[in-house]
Structure 1
Amino acid sequence: MARIKPQTLLLQSKKKKGPNRISIATIILYALIIGLISLSMVATFRHWSRRSMEQTGVGLKNSEPEVHESDVHDELSRQYDLPGYAILSTSKGDIKVELSKDVAPGIVDKFLDLCQKGEFKGIPFQHVIKNYLIRGGKSRAGAAESWISEGKLRTQLVPRRKHDAFMLGTSKKGLDDKSFDLIITTASIPDFDDKLIMFGRVIGGENVVKKIEGLETDEQYHPKSPISIVNVTLKQEI
């Protein structure tokens, strides 16, 4: 057998004991794996952080509900969806009225409620005062006479704002008595803020108002020929 030289054995021993070299491809692979693990951990952290914030937000909303501008707009829209017109059908013809929902919303609401309950069906015109007003109501009691005398006195002493002709209103005294009369002016009259609340205007049937105003009356301004409101019809538009 051939003998191996000691120098050759020493070289072979060093080769076996030396560390193995890692290739560049292996290093890149390890780096990619570490990067993927890091990205996965960051994504998981963000997910749970977002979920925690959402849960906290829900709790706040339940305790303090937010008021959005759209909610306010919807409420106003519902208010203005109410009927804006009324047709007073009388034995002399129809009187069309536009309601002032923005000027006297509370009075308009009460008027609409009474119309839906049929409260104005058959009520007579109790007072007819030429060049002044006509008044419909269930009670014959009223302050028509005092309005005339007070109106003359006030116009002589102090210039005041005036209600135009063909305005629809009601008396404050009637509201205090839990009743509701209907007053239509037939001329420009003193603005009795302490007695009248105007909540609409006549936009059709002025000739009917004039027919009622032309009725013959007694000394108490009660018409001698019966005249009444047959029905009231509410309209969204006319």
Structure 2
Amino acid sequence: MGRIKPQALLQQSKRKKGPSRKSATAILFYAVILVIFALFLFATYRHWPGRTRFQQENYISVSEDEKAFVKSKKSDLPGYAVLTTSKGSIVVELYKESAPEVVDEFIDLCQKGHFKGMLFHQVIKNYVIQAGHNNGPEATEDWNLRGKKYISIRHEAFMLGKGKYFNKGFDLFITTAPIPDLNEKLIVFGRVIKGEEVVQEIEEMDTDEHYRPKISIGILDVSLRQMM
């Protein structure tokens, strides 16, 4: 048998392999993958703006709910207090908007019974009556000295306030006349709306040289009211 030449073997090998072809199934498979991927990208593009809009709307909704909750909490706070004294009742309206921190402190102390039994220990005619637990004369003397040094906005009588300087506790002050320098000495957090005659009766009490009433008079109780 004769030997086959190398060139003849190479030609036979090329004829057996033929051109490289991909099957129709593989082509269809890749096409499906591409379509699915394209649909996924399209769906993601359409969903994202909607998701962002939903988050913004949800954030706005939460913010409005928080604001409504804060307003609700403020409206839930008592708006009035009734000071029952041995001379009668004094009704005060609380300034929840202009002095919220002081009003909160006042309400908290009322609930703890801080003002029960508190005496009006300083009475200055045509000026203020002061109720507190400090019975020393220094507080009122300091008040008068400070009062001569300041000029500020003029205020009317029957304002309810807390002292700024001379007391570390929470004494109650009710003005009985307009005080030009009230802002320099009191944090005003309310006003008397009923019982002005009781305030005036306390103001007319006889006092010693330190403005201390000669007859004890005090606050029997304080009750908080939502409405009057």
Q: Same fold (TM over 0.5)?
A: yes
RMSD value, Cα:
3.2
Deviations 1:59-98 (A, max 9, x none): x79xx99742122122122122100000000000000000
What TM-score results when the alignment is normalised by the length of structure 1? 0.68
Question: Which structure has the larger Rg over C-alpha atoms?
Answer: 1
- 1:166 is matched with 158
SS in structure 2 at match of 1:162 = coil
SS in structure 1 at match of 2:205 = coil
Deviations 1:21-53 (A, max 9, x none): xxxxxxxxxxxxxxxxxxxx9xx98xx869x86
Q: Does 1:115 align with 2:110?
A: yes
Q: Distance in 1 between matches of 2:149 and 2:164?
A: 21
How far residue 195 of structure 1 moved from its aligned partner, in angstroms, is 2.2
Deviations 1:176-198 (A, max 9, x none): x6410000000001224332111
Bigger mean CA deviation after superposition, 127-136 or 184-193: 184-193
| Equivalent in 94, 100, 109 of residue 105 of structure 1 | 100
Q: Which sections of structure 1, spanning at least 5 residues, go unmatched?
A: 1-40
| Number of residue equivalences | 187
Q: Does 1:96 align with 2:63?
A: no
How far residue 153 of structure 1 moved from its aligned partner, in angstroms, is 5.6
What TM-score results when the alignment is normalised by the length of structure 2? 0.71
* Corresponding letter in the other structure for 2:226: Q
* Corresponding letter in the other structure for 1:169: G
Q: Distance in 1 between matches of 2:69 and 2:149?
A: 48
SS in structure 2 at match of 1:121 = coil
Q: Does 1:196 align with 2:186?
A: yes
Q: Does 1:140 align with 2:132?
A: no
Deviations 1:144-180 (A, max 9, x none): 23433443565xxxx6312210000010136xx6410
